[in-house]
């Protein structure tokens, strides 16, 4: 009893001796260490379960696409050639979404599902400027469509899963994070795709057209390109965001193409080198940045609004060069530094039929013009 009383008294009336405090601290650390390890293990198991669930949900709807074209060998003899890529079921009607470059110029396309069945498919819509295409298969598709998430809500560091068929290895899963947002990549027709998602989830040849998923199994992008010196994954891959997919694909299904807003100018980015060369020739652009309009397409929105191309021609680096044209410096108050800015603004912020305010520099004087955008011709 006396021992109990002493213990009770020391607990209530004063601190533990140093040796007692040290022992208590050691016991506390030993007690906490297993708890921290268990929590970390539980977190890892939770992440693992989410990845597994995303794969199990999406895998049946991811397809292997084989496209066939007739090429030429070294002596010009016609030979059949095959390429492979990926895609996914987009809607309840069984439409398949993939990259345009997966099926570009294909004479024959087949689609294989995870149940082992292979179907003939045809391209019913394509948009090289956004590197998107839609396929219709020859028979009813049982696989469910994959839901699309809103790519505007994505965060750098967010976990993602890439599904596809790299090197023909069907329904391969790779895992990573969103490395960056808002990247700009070049499209197959030489234009630009904005808002691209950068990821370190390994993407290799054959992954093109496959979905980039969040951990809920929703499509946040379509894997499209990699940056690599070897042609294989170097940890820098790019996906077309779901926002563009949601905007473009319904038109591809309905009418076979997407309506791109169009201004109708051909120009060259103003740079210090170009400005210097033109100044030396007596034709200073009038602005240190912008798009120098070389010519305007007849009957285009730009022509109707009064935007002017070059009125004279000079010799520059041995070639005829139009000079005296307007320099486009802003659209709707958004600064334009060149062709890339112009393309990205029109694609992301405008639609066919919109009226926009274009600011130009003409002969050193700022002018504002109203332009009504029309649909870009297929061969502008």
Residues annotated as catalytic (active site), given as ranges: 101, 131, 208
β-sheet bridge partners, residue 343: none
Going by C-alpha positions, the residue among 201, 204, 199, 197 that lies closest to residue 233 is 204
**Helix and strand element counts for the chain (H, E):** 7, 22
DSSP 1-15: -HHHHHHHHHHHHSP
Element containing residue 266 per DSSP (H, E): strand 265-269
Q: Where are the beta strands (DSSP E) in 73-210?
A: 78-89, 96-98, 108-112, 118-127, 132-137, 159-164, 172-186, 192-199
Question: Residue 248, by phi and psi: left (phi above 0), alpha (psi -120 to 50) or beta?
Answer: alpha
Dihedral (CA of 367, 339, 222, 181) sign: negative
Q: Are 227 and 236 in contact (CB under 8 A)?
A: yes
Q: How far apart are alpha carbons 111 and 64 in whole angstroms?
A: 6
Which residues contact residue 285 at a Cβ distance below 8 angstroms, ignoring those fewer than 6 apart?
270, 274, 275, 278, 292, 327, 361
How is residue 323 annotated by DSSP? E
Backbone angles phi, psi at 87, to 5 degrees: -170, 180
**Integer Cα distance of 326 and 336 in angstroms:** 13
């Amino acid at each position: 009893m006396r021992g109990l009383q002493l213990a009770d008294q020391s607990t209530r009336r004063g601190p533990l001796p140093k040796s007692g405090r040290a022992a208590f601290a050691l016991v506390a650390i030993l007690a906490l260490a297993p708890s921290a390890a268990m929590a970390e293990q539980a977190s890892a198991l939770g992440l693992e379960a989410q990845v597994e669930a995303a794969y199990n949900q999406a895998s049946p709807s991811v397809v292997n696409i084989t496209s066939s074209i007739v090429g030429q060998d070294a002596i010009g003899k016609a030979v059949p050639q095959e390429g492979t890529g990926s895609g996914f079921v987009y809607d309840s009607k069984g439409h398949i979404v993939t990259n345009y470059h997966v099926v570009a110029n294909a004479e024959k396309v087949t689609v294989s599902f995870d149940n082992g069945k292979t179907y003939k498919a045809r391209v019913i819509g394509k948009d090289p400027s956004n590197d998107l295409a839609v396929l219709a298969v020859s028979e009813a598709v049982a696989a469910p469509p994959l839901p699309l998430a809103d790519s505007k809500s994505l965060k750098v560091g967010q976990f993602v899963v890439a599904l596809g068929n790299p090197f023909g290895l069907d329904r391969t899963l790779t895992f990573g994070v969103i490395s960056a947002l808002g990247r700009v990549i070049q499209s197959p027709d030489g234009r630009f795709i904005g808002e691209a998602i950068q990821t370190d989830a390994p993407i290799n040849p054959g992954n093109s057209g496959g979905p980039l998923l969040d951990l809920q199994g929703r499509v946040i992008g379509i894997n499209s390109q990699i940056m690599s010196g070897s042609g294989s994954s170097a940890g820098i891959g790019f996906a077309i965001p779901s926002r563009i997919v949601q905007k473009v694909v319904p038109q591809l299904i309905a009418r076979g193409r997407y309506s791109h807003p169009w201004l109708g100018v051909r120009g060259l980015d103003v740079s210090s080198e170009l400005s210097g060369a033109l100044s030396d020739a007596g034709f200073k652009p009038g602005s240190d940045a912008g798009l120098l309009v070389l010519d305007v397409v007849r009957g285009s929105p730009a022509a109707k609004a009064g935007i002017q191309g070059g009125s004279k021609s000079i010799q520059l680096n041995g070639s005829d060069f139009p000079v005296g044209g307007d320099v486009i410096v802003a659209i709707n108050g958004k600064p334009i530094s060149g062709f890339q800015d112009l393309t990205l603004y029109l694609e992301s912020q405008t639609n066919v039929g919109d009226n926009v305010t274009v600011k130009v520099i003409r002969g050193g004087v700022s002018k504002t013009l109203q332009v009504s955008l029309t649909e870009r011709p297929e061969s502008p």
